[in-house]
């Protein structure tokens, strides 16, 4: 029966949070040539964003309510056009933060290097027509969504999303929707808000426990230049540690530790908040 350590919990949270931080690049359209909000790859050779992801894991109430883990990862997200209709995406210069040693162990391949994080074939309507690296699949889910049609101020559109997750070795697909609203227009800058709900899981256990991942994002798109100038999305998940346990043993404290304690310590019933906030700020366009 598999025990779960705080390292496992953090890795699970990070895998969710990369996915959470994600929803990056979804959308399609039936009138693409007339749409205002589309990537204009012909306008630049490369767009570089400063990437920041803050991950927080906090117990809810109880003895450990003051205990929490916070990690900040940074890097550069680059959009590199390959034609007027397509571009590639790369996440480079990634610094995993204070948890770097743990995260490097979990994310490195056999050769000891971090896996490449890239997307091939981003179309100007926001859809993907190409290869997505396995590591990047956890990141391409909700950060730069392009609505499937032009909106008026106050108008919204509901779009389906899906998110790959790694729950301690079990790869599952979570599905839901995002509701994108055009909040304001200032000259050529369109400001959007996005409400995200992911509540459909192909994993029976997750489906029975009715887990929900909720998120909210804000984005600014320059329709003249044809790219996002700013984006931020926060995703939240609440669940018990025992929900992550494989098998029937709900107490995740190892027997070697539990036998030395004068009382039963049951972390399994502890509820945790997992929060991921990803921000992209335009550094430069070339």
How high is the pLDDT of residue 96? Answer: 76
What are the residue ranges in the chain where pLDDT is below 70? 1-34, 60-68, 98-116, 133-142, 165-170, 203-210, 239-270
For 82, list phi and psi in degrees, rounded to 5: -110, -15
Tens digits of residue pLDDT in 36-57: 899 999 999 999 999 998 888 7
How high is the pLDDT of residue 2? Answer: 46
How high is the pLDDT of residue 248? Answer: 46
| Spatial distance between the Cα atoms of 157 and 119, rounded to a whole number of angstroms | 25
| Spatial distance between the Cα atoms of 38 and 136, rounded to a whole number of angstroms | 22
- Rg of the Cα atoms in the chain: 20
Tens digits of residue pLDDT in 64-103: 555 667 888 899 999 999 999 999 988 888 887 766 555 5
Q: Report the Cα 95 to chain-centroid distance in Å.
A: 17
pTM of the predicted protein model: 0.77
How high is the pLDDT of residue 152? Answer: 95
DSSP state of 112: S
| Spatial distance between the Cα atoms of 133 and 35, rounded to a whole number of angstroms | 29
| Spatial distance between the Cα atoms of 141 and 138, rounded to a whole number of angstroms | 7
β 227-240/271-285 pair status: antiparallel
β 213-222/189-201 pair status: antiparallel
Domain boundaries defined on the chain: 6-150+236-285
How high is the pLDDT of residue 69? Answer: 78
Distances (CA, A) of 124 to 18, 42, 43, 101, 221: 23, 10, 12, 37, 13
How high is the pLDDT of residue 3? Answer: 47
């Amino acid at each position: 029966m598999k025990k779960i350590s705080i390292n496992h919990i953090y890795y699970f949270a990070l895998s969710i949070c990369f996915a959470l931080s994600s929803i990056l690049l979804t959308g399609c359209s039936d009138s693409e040539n007339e749409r205002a909000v589309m990537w204009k790859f012909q306008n630049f050779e490369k767009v570089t964003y400063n990437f920041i992801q803050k991950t927080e894991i906090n117990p809810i109430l109880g003895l450990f309510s003051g205990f929490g883990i916070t990690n900040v990862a940074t890097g550069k997200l680059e959009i590199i056009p390959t034609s007027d209709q397509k571009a590639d995406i790369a996440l480079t210069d990634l610094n995993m933060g204070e948890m770097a040693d743990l995260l490097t162990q979990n994310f490195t391949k056999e050769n000891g290097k971090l896996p490449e994080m890239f997307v091939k074939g981003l179309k100007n309507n926001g859809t993907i027509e190409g290869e997505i690296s396995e590591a990047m699949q956890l990141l391409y889910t909700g950060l730069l969504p392009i609505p499937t049609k032009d909106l008026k101020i106050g108008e919204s559109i509901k779009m389906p999303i899906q998110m790959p997750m790694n729950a301690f070795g079990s790869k599952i697909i979570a599905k839901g929707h995002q509701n994108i609203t055009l909040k304001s227009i200032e000259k050529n800058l369109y400001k959007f808000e996005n409400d995200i709900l992911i509540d459909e899981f192909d994993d029976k256990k997750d489906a029975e426990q009715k887990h929900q991942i909720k998120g909210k994002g804000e984005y600014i798109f320059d329709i003249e230049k044809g790219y996002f100038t700013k984006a931020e999305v926060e995703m939240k998940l609440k669940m018990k540690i025992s929900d992550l346990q494989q098998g029937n043993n709900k107490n995740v404290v190892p027997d070697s530790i539990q036998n030395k304690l004068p009382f039963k310590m049951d972390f399994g019933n502890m509820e945790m908040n997992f929060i991921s906030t990803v921000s992209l700020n335009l550094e430069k366009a070339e």
